[in-house]
Amino acid sequence: MTLMTPDEYYKSIQRDVNLYMFGEKVKEFWKHPIILPSINAVKKIYELAQMEEYKDIMTARSHLTSEIINRFTHIHQSTDDLIKKVQMQRLVGQKTACCFQRCVGFDTANGLYSVTYEIDKKYNTNYHERFKKYWIEVQKQDLMVGGTMTDPKGDRGKRPNHQSDPDLFLHVVDENDDGIIVRGAKIHQTGFLNSHKAIIMPTLTIRPGEEEYAVSFGVDITEKGITMIYGRQSCDTRKMEETKLDIGNFKFGGQEIFVVFDDVFIPNDNIFMKGEIEFSGELVNRFAGFHRQSYGGCKVGVGDVYIGAAALISQYNGTEKASHIRDKIVEMIHLNETLFSCGIACSSLGFQREAGNYEMDMLLANVCKQNVTRFPYEIGRLGEDIAGGLICTLPSEADLRSTEVGPFLKKYLTTCDGVNVEDRYKLLRFIENLTMGVSSPSYKTESMHGAGSPQAQRIMIARQGNLEEKIELVKNILDIE
């Protein structure tokens, strides 16, 4: 059994990478105050997997090696695996209150597993065996693998091969007997910097004449030609100040990276798709389905913490007994559990692919994510309502510590007996952080755009909704020919 400890993970990512932030190259990124909370969030996954009380949820037995592995490296073998995935994601969300960054690679692997099998079946290629060999090493070493899909896209009204710059979609620019050379960029890459490896996918269905864009491969993030640019988040530089209260969630945080691939060489053994255009859309859809299922867990876990914060601030404010406050918290719980119900439902109705792995119900996974684009906004609105306007106007921690004005703040920010003003500060900043700050990077905004925009889910719901079958139901009841 190989389960990496948090300390082992932290040491394993201490290597040279080509990373920029604020226009300057970052050295020893694992020490940077803006980046460190995102690393802590990943470390929490490794910590939970070591704890006996969470072993059933956080670990699984590999069908590839028969060893106990971290569930974030597992290929689903049953509907029970799909359900435990969602439960695991809720748990980690509860423990970090942010994006813990390991879901994208997890979902990529599960989508790619069946797609490579089907490509091989049609074309007699060996992508599936390559991928299994690649993934066995991931499981044995308990590596964190990022998943990368989103291209810059350029002019959205034009196809990849009609862009003024062909690199606006990542593509193959050259190849030889040993492998391929790729060029392009991937944006919004969750946890890419904190990963050991990454798997790259197309961002849309590739058409005839665009074969160079139908490419999927694995790569080490230290590979020559990869440049990373750290994405800004609201209030991010607060982490660089000599403060703790102003940060909000000062332990954990998310991370998004802009990744440039400037003529990166990919050896044949790491290539999982190359030009098989008819499978590109299927890979996009399967990954998206798995990732939309994920939001029924991770966002629910963060929601649990947010609801707890709203309830606690009502106690600090002395409003917890007001009927409208109680009703708002009930509504927050109702919406959050509805999201969880969707995640569990699409998992429970999962099915087995020909490759042997299990996939969630695609329609319900998209319904799950469609709800995630809406419900966290209402949960967030209700929490902000309960907290009050101080989450936007609270003076700084430096003011609270000031000998000149600090006494005023402590005097006039006092609420109920026994409530420490500093604890109230912590809580108000935490709520601010979740709704407007650097948590996921934002509980609300990331819920909107993560795993595809709302319209992407509506397209899939239209495809999966079986409208003609519903029409036939009416005809049969009414004896309409």
Element (H, E) at 461: helix 454-464
Separation of alpha carbons 302 and 177, rounded Å = 48
Nearest 5°: the CA angle 433, 439, 444 is 85
DSSP for 236-249, written as a single string: GGGGGSS-STTTSS
Amino acid identity of residue 25, one-letter, is K
Burial of 393 (0-12, 13-18, 19+ CB in 10 A): exposed
pLDDT in tens, 167-209: 999 999 999 999 999 999 999 999 999 999 999 999 999 999 9
Whether the CA torsion 277, 283, 284, 286 is positive or negative: it is positive
Res 270 pLDDT > 90: yes
Q: What is the structure's pLDDT at 456? A: 87
Separation of alpha carbons 168 and 171, rounded Å = 9
Q: Provide the 8-state DSSP code for 440.
A: S
Q: What is the structure's pLDDT at 441? A: 57
- As annotated, the active-site residues are 99, 103, 190, 256, 291, 295, 298, 446
How many C-beta atoms lie closer than 10 Å to residue 300's C-beta? 28
Class (C level, CATH) for 6-279: mainly beta
Helix (H, G, I), strand (E, B) or coil at 321: coil
**For residue 52, what are its two tokens?**
């006996």
pLDDT bucket at 235, cuts 50 / 70 / 90: confident
pLDDT in tens, 405-424: 999 999 999 999 999 999 99
How many C-beta atoms lie closer than 10 Å to residue 130's C-beta? 19
Res 111 pLDDT > 70: yes
Phi then psi for 179, rounded to 5 degrees? Answer: 165, -155
Separation of alpha carbons 202 and 216, rounded Å = 7
Superfamily of domain 291-478: Butyryl-CoA Dehydrogenase, subunit A, domain 3 (1.20.140.10)
Do the bridges between strand 226-230 and strand 19-21 make them parallel or antiparallel, or are there none, so unpaired?
Answer: parallel
Res 439 pLDDT > 70: no
- From the list 252, 308, 339, 245, the residue with the least C-alpha distance to 48 is 252
Q: Provide the 8-state DSSP code for 417.
A: T
What residues does 184 pair with on adjacent strands? 261
Do the bridges between strand 68-70 and strand 145-148 make them parallel or antiparallel, or are there none, so unpaired?
Answer: unpaired
Phi then psi for 449, rounded to 5 degrees? Answer: -105, -20
Q: What is the structure's pLDDT at 438? A: 58
Yes or no: say if 230 and 19 are a contact pair by the CB < 8 Å rule: yes
Yes or no: say if 257 and 229 are a contact pair by the CB < 8 Å rule: yes
pLDDT bucket at 233, cuts 50 / 70 / 90: confident
Mean per-residue pLDDT, 219-245: 93
Residue of higher predicted confidence among 170 and 238: 170
Beta carbons within 8 Å of 218's beta carbon, 6+ residues apart: 134, 145, 197, 198, 199, 200, 270, 272
Domain with CATH 1.20.140.10 in the chain: 291-478
Average pLDDT, the chain: 95
Residue for token pair 């991931």: 138
- From the list 350, 186, 203, 373, the residue with the least C-alpha distance to 287 is 203
The Cα-based distances of 376 to 28, 29, 445 in angstroms read 35, 32, 9
Yes or no: say if 253 and 210 are a contact pair by the CB < 8 Å rule: no
Q: What is the structure's pLDDT at 437? A: 67
pLDDT in tens, 283-295: 999 999 999 999 9
Q: What is the structure's pLDDT at 447? A: 81
Domain with CATH 2.40.110.10 in the chain: 6-279
- From the list 163, 166, 167, 170, the residue with the least C-alpha distance to 149 is 170
Helices within 295-405 (DSSP H only)? 298-317, 323-348, 362-372, 375-387, 390-393, 397-401
Residue for token pair 């695991």: 88
Yes or no: say if 38 and 177 are a contact pair by the CB < 8 Å rule: no
Percentage of the chain modeled with pLDDT above 90:
91
